Structure 1
Amino acid sequence: MTQKTILNATHRAAGARMVDFGGWDMPINYGSQVDEHHAVRRDAGMFDVSHMTVIDLRGERVREFLHRLLANNVDKAKAPGKAIYSCMLNERGGIIDDLIAYWLGGDFFRLVTNASTRDKDLAWIQQHAVQFDVSVTERPELALIAVQGPSARAAVLKLVSEQDRAAVEALGKFTAADARGLHGETLFVARTGYTGEDGFEVVLPSDQAVAFWERLAQAGVKPAGLGARDTLRLEAGMNLYGQDMDEDTTPLVSGLGWTVAFDEGRDFIGRAALEAQQASGMPSRVVGLVLEDKGVLRHGQRVVTAAGDGRILSGTFAPTLGKSIALARIPAGEAGEVSVDIRGKLLSARIVKYPFVRDGQAQI
């Protein structure tokens, strides 16, 4: 049965086109996907991401547990409220999910994981938490609204109580804090996001979410759907679970080697498999592509290189650049001239470093 977020009726009332996304009825756009994309790059847009899974972890050995569970090291979060991005791996080094882990002080951590992987994530986390006597509490009563863009933080700050406003305004990137809303809302405000723009992700009780969303809209923040979210994250060079990575790919071949902390003595799940892969040599790598000819790059298209064939992982037309871009997995080795098979025609493409766009500015 398709699930709905607390904002579902609000989206429909606004004329959103709804689609099934990982078992959730979600807005793909509210009219022009390109306009929504530009609103985030140039001003501020908001996304309903209440389908994401919020999981609270508590216990005296919770840090020890996360040392085992995650490929990145939670000790990098040096102060309460700090967050890290990490992959959660199986024994083969494959990616069960990518997530954000917040240390909220003492023995309290919060994970935010993907919607489509909810059941397997919870089962995996609970399976391994038992041996560390860590409590695992899903928080389905919470909603999550992402507000992104150059004006996003200012828009949210106007809705934060005066006594908490300065603390929220001072949050560094990948840091979060509890706050009260201007109308008494209970807010968890994180300076994180999935668009390549600055902004906040706001967690709050579901019964307060509709009013908060409407106040953001009144402040001029434009609703944006999953379509714009996808073009924005790809321009920012951010991976999408299930498309750019999955349980059969490791972080090392998914462009996520930077998220793995090979700390001495920390035996995280999948570490042995990653070390074996490093020792044997990387079979492939992820690169950014820009299409030189007319056409649109899409998931699954064949990429032809001097080292052998690869494939497009995520591809789209990038509104900020006016070009078609992609993340592609290609064989290791010298790529030479690159082309992409689009409907039987080999079209010329160029390998570039990603992100393609940073802070609203083209990088290619």
Structure 2
Amino acid sequence: MGQHTPLYGKHCEAGARIVDFAGWDMPIQYGSQIEEHRAVRRDAGMFDVSHMAIVEITGARAQECLRHLLANDVAKLKEPGKALYTCLLNEQGGVLDDLIVYYLAEGRYRTVVNAATRDKDLSWIKIQGERFQVQVEYRADLAMLAVQGPQAREKVLQVLPSELAAAARALAPFTGLEREGVFVSRTGYTGEDGYEIMLPAAAAPALWEALREQGVQPCGLGARDTLRLEAGMNLYGQDMDETVTPLESGLAWTVAWEPAGREFIGRAALLAQRSAGVQRQLVGLVLEARGVIRAHQVVRDDGGLTGTVTSGSFAPTLGKSIGLARVPVDFGRRCEVQIRDHFLPAQVIDPPFVRRGRVLV
């Protein structure tokens, strides 16, 4: 038996299909995965993401620590609640994890890291944090819900206390706020608008029920994966890991090169790679025949260059199969994907495939 989030009982009551995910018993779907996917694109869906690790870094030198630890620069965060997407790198520039970091107050930051990398991340952050004399705390006392879709924000606002709701309504994208132990941020992993809510674990079931009464569809990890893939968002462990850098993973935009004097972990390796010329890139694929793109399949272009699919699935919004693949930088815009014993035609595109319900390919 795996670990359980505070909402595990609610998932069982709803008849969810439970699977192991990074040591956690999590809902993969409640009924139709495609209907859950469409609920998020058309209305509102909610996900239990309490298996992800909420980690706080505090201390007088917290900003200095994170400027050394992360590839993006937390000095950009000037006002409480501002958020930043970034990568946590090793000395070779490989991606240990991707995460969101929030500036809460002077000397206090919060990050949300992936469940599968929790222990590794915590160990790495604590080791690096020792020299800056910061405190690193895993907030196991908190649960986290993601509510996403074109109607998600309005439905969330109906169940929040009036003062919190009024403040949350005014949030700009990639900002958050904290009131009486509840943190609401306008972030997500689906390509749709919405909120991510961190709150005391004991309060999570009541919020889940209140959202269900507002017509928010419970969604499992299966729909979360197809939604993020349509949105062109990387999945750690598939689209990037310690063997590749952000420059090879469509994440060069998350690396803050300036100011030049900021010596973050992995900077020297990334500079060397950039100077020598990045040899690989992450691209999108749209299959033009019947079949489903899956991770680890071979792709080849008309010139004989080859690459590998990192993520793939049927995309409900497009009605086609799509994927992400790591290929040489001069890979063509037409290719074939090897599915079983056949090579099937595909178009190479720049992700995303879908944003805010709008098909972009």
Same structural fold, with TM-score higher than 0.5 when normalized by the shorter chain: yes
Q: Distance in 1 between the 2:53 and 2:333 partners?
A: 42
Unaligned runs of 5+ in 2: none
Aligned AA (1:5)? T
Q: Which runs of 5+ in 1 are unaligned?
A: 181-185
Please state how far the C-alpha of 1:78 moved relative to its aligned partner: 2.1
Match of 2:359 among 341, 357, 362: 362
Q: What's 1:62 paired with?
A: 62
In the other structure, the counterpart of 2:173 is 173
Helix, strand or coil: the match of 1:104? Answer: strand
Distance 1:24 1:223 in 2: 18
For the residue of structure 2 that corresponds to 1:27, the secondary structure is strand
Which residue, out of 307, 324, 335, partners 2:321?
A: 324
Assess, with a 3 A threshold, how the Cα gap between structure 1 residues 11 and 332 changes in structure 2: closer, same or farther.
Answer: same
The answer on whether the counterparts of 2:286 and 2:321 sit within 8 Å (CA) in structure 1 is: yes
| Residues 106-185 of structure 1: pairs in structure 2 closer than 5 A | 106-179=106-179
Letter in 2 for 1:304: R
Residue 299 of structure 2: aligned partner: 303
Task: Choose the corresponding residue for 1:279, options 275, 281, 291.
Answer: 275
Q: What displacement does 1:363 show?
A: 0.3
Q: How many residues align?
A: 359
AA partner of residue 298 (structure 1): R
Q: CA deviation at 1:337?
A: 3.3
Give SS of 1:173's match. coil
Match of residue 8 from structure 2: 8
2:268 equivalent to 1:268: no
Which amino acid in 2 is paired with 1:50? S
Instruction: Return the alpha-carbon distance in structure 2 between the equivalents of residues 307 and 134 of structure 1.
Output: 51
Q: CA deviation at 1:362?
A: 0.2
Q: Is the 8 A contact 2:183 2:198 kept in 1?
A: yes
Deviations for 1:160-207, whole angstroms, at most 9, x for unmatched residues?
A: 222232211000011010136xxxxx4210100000000000000000
Provide the C-alpha distance between the structure 1 equivalents of 2:228 and 2:263, rounded to a whole number of angstroms: 32
Instruction: Provide runs of 4+ in structure 1 moved above 4 Å.
Output: none
Which secondary structure state, in structure 2, belongs to the residue aligned with residue 117 of structure 1?
helix
Distance 1:164 1:315 in 2: 39
Residues in 2 aligned to 1:337 and 1:317: alpha-carbon distance in whole angstroms: 19
Match of 1:53 in 2: 53
Residue identity in the other structure for 1:295: G
Equivalent residue, structure 1, for 2:44: 44
Out of 337, 341, 353, the position equivalent to 1:340 is 337
* 8 Å Cα contact 1:14-1:30 kept in structure 2: yes
Cα offsets for 1:236-283 (capped at 9, x unmatched): 000000000001110000000000001210000000000111111111
SS of the aligned residue for 1:55 comes to strand
The more displaced of 136-145 and 71-80 is 71-80
2:26 maps to a residue whose letter is M
Q: CA deviation at 1:218?
A: 0.8
1:218 equivalenced with 2:213 (yes/no)? yes
Residue 257 of structure 1: aligned partner:
252
For the 8 Å contact 1:307–1:331, the answer to whether it is kept is no
Q: How has the CA–CA distance of structure 1 residues 67 and 31 changed in structure 2, closer, same or farther, with 3 Å as cutoff?
A: same
**Which segment is superposed worse, 161-170 or 107-116?**
161-170
Query: Identity over aligned residues, as a percent?
Result: 57
Partner of 2:238: 243
Distance between the aligned counterparts of 1:337 and 1:59, measured in 2? 52
- RMSD value, Cα: 1.0
Describe the shift of the 1:215–1:336 C-alpha distance in structure 2 as closer, same or farther (beyond 3 A). closer
Deviations 1:125-182 (A, max 9, x none): 00000000000011001000000000100111112222232211000011010136xx
What is the TM-score with the length of structure 2 in the denominator? Answer: 0.98
Question: Does the C-alpha gap of structure 1 residues 336 and 165 become closer, same or farther in structure 2, counting only changes over 3 Å?
Answer: closer
